[in-house]
Structure 1
Amino acid sequence: MGNKVIPYGRQDITHEDINAVIETLQSDFLTQGPKIKEFEKKFAESVEAKYAVAVNNATAGLHIAVMALGLKEGDRVITTPITFAASANCVRFVGGEVWFADIDRDTYLLSLERTKELIESKPKGFFKGIIPVDFAGLPIQLEGFKQLADMHGLWILEDACHAPGGYFLDSKKQKQYCGNGIYADAAVFSFHPVKHIACGEGGMVTTNSEDVYKKLLLLRSHGITKENMSENHGGWFYEMQTLGFNYRITDFQAALGISQLARNKNGVAKRNEIAKRYKDAFNGRLKFQVLPDNSLNAHHLFVIEVDNRKELYDYLHQNNIYAQIHYIPVHQLPYYKTIGYNSDTDLSNSEDYYSKCISLPMYPTLTEEEQEFVIETIMAFSSKNN
């Protein structure tokens, strides 16, 4: 492949995307205009949710989502260690406590059994919520989590940043898209460049709750509104009803998002074709994420496991294949070590996974030739090291 670099993820910007942005840049609105509402409407429809609120990034979405769900200082929330730090940090932003439950060793997703064990080891009301993650694009089977949450009075915030377009079939064989709000109170998506829908930066919160939706709108924009005011002195008047944030997305980012969203279904199909080629090549040779029955993995990532991970990582980089590691377990990060929450919980599955995981190139514009080079390079490394 010469000197060509093959990253683990890459955005795909087309002429249609560029024209959509230019058109918006030449319009009357650069922010707080009609493209944002259009993006929200189309995104909600795509995941079959009632409401969607666009924000400047997914971390901001997680922050205002936990606030809209009622999280307060001292409240305890369970999440997975195998995720980007923001899934946990959003709890800390409001002074809550993060507790980690271990992953399933085959799916790499938050384990329902371990979550149940953790909840039942504490008094009733000890926890307030659960933040499951659709890691790598694989939808977490939320139906069981919903039953558990309802038994204990907990809310669920689905971190679906890896999984727009992914779905699972529930016990009634109904297709449940990530973020549709049937088994979670809200969900968050990311529009970072390496994700399915690239807006440069950006995020979306979806929900089926009108109450949560209205709180999200307030929190996104300084807590300021012109609706349901206690008084009104004229057309200029507004009220700040709560302490909010400036988490708004721009119109030109929303225009890019609309254009990208239109291609996401095809993008997910292409990602699954790439995943199949990897699986066909590695089946019986290397361990990779298991796909449960009746699920569609949206495949933000394709992760394999090897014993000599550092050596493979270096070897791939030497060959201009920029593989990546997802993720350092959150409980092992210095900040969370210092806090010391939940340090006595068994997280051995997460730690074992981390010692072996490596994410391979996975994006719709990855060519068959490039993927074959990735596969051949891994096989050559394995032959030399076995």
Structure 2
Amino acid sequence: MDPFEARIYFAKQLVALTPSKVAAQELIRFLIHYSGIQNDLYPAVLETLHKVDLNYRINILQFLNDLISTLVLDPKHFSTISPAYGYVRLTVNQLPSILAQVLPRKPDPDSIVSMDPKQLEEMRCLTNLRASYSILIDISKLLQFPDLETYVDQFDATLLTQTDVQSIKQDKTFDEAYIYETVANRKPIDQPELVPLLHQEKMFIEPLTDSWKFILAKKRQSQYERVMIDTHPGRLKDSDFLSTISTVPSDHRNPLLLSQKQILQRMEADRERQKKGKETLWRVRRPTNEVSMPEFQHIWHSLDKYDLKADRALLDELNGLYNVCKTPDVSDSSAHHRRHLPPNHRPRGGRRGGANSNVVSRHRAE
């Protein structure tokens, strides 16, 4: 398969991606097999993201997370200098742009003349926010992003400013233009395959920082719009659009709009994605097969202080298990072994037969 055919095949598989782990693993094996032409294959990711609907966009982001996980967690087969590891560098380098497609900007009404205003109101461009946040956490853990906890705490906090509160009172729409201008003005690292040899931290920290700033900005937008609806309930209008959108041909429908069927599919996909997320909760990276100090401290501080009275029942249970499972002493086991031997297999000597008993018999006879 030449590079052109491989790229067409890769693009078709991206469009057909589902949250299923089997489908992702098959496509990952394909990319690893053709890692020599990754610079020809990878641009198809951004091209496909722009064409498909919001459901497929989050599926593609989940697939990229699985790809990074496969390559990072198997350093024996995929070292940092292996050709396949280049996919990790390409993905992280383009991650802010990928997130900007997964969480797209709502179109400007003036730029789309043919779109019904009702359709513009029904667009939910923040649908993928929570799933993107979870995926970004997983990627940050895989790449050992040092500022992860800081950004997670910020995501869970209130991000609205006093200016935002005043804008909400004045019934002003949130201006998200600056978010995407920042991503558009960002310059990806040229020749990322050379960066690990020069500045290892720059390759991952800088793009991940930009990605987290983008996610926090979208979370701020989400909080803004929610407070806006609570403050101005008239903005939330009843619409029968969802009951009629399914009759619109998919070729003529904006990819940012979801039909009733797509909404139901998304619900099933989210359930599958949640199951996959739970599969990695137990995963602990131990390259040296030793417990790290942060892990030890986490377990140590999660335990209560020792209390002799409160822990007596637990200690008795542990002692009972120890007595059942402990290995008997050598002397006890040898005596037990002799008692259960038949007479003709007992060792010579001792009080029953043997040399000592013969000596006693001769002494009595004399």
TMscore range, shorter length: under 0.3
Q: TM-score, normalised on structure 2? A: 0.20
By percentage of residues, which structure has more strand?
1
By percentage of residues, which structure has more helix?
2
Q: TM-score, normalised on structure 1? A: 0.20
- Higher RCO (CA < 8 A, seq sep 6+): 1
> Which entry has the higher C-alpha Rg, 1 or 2?
2
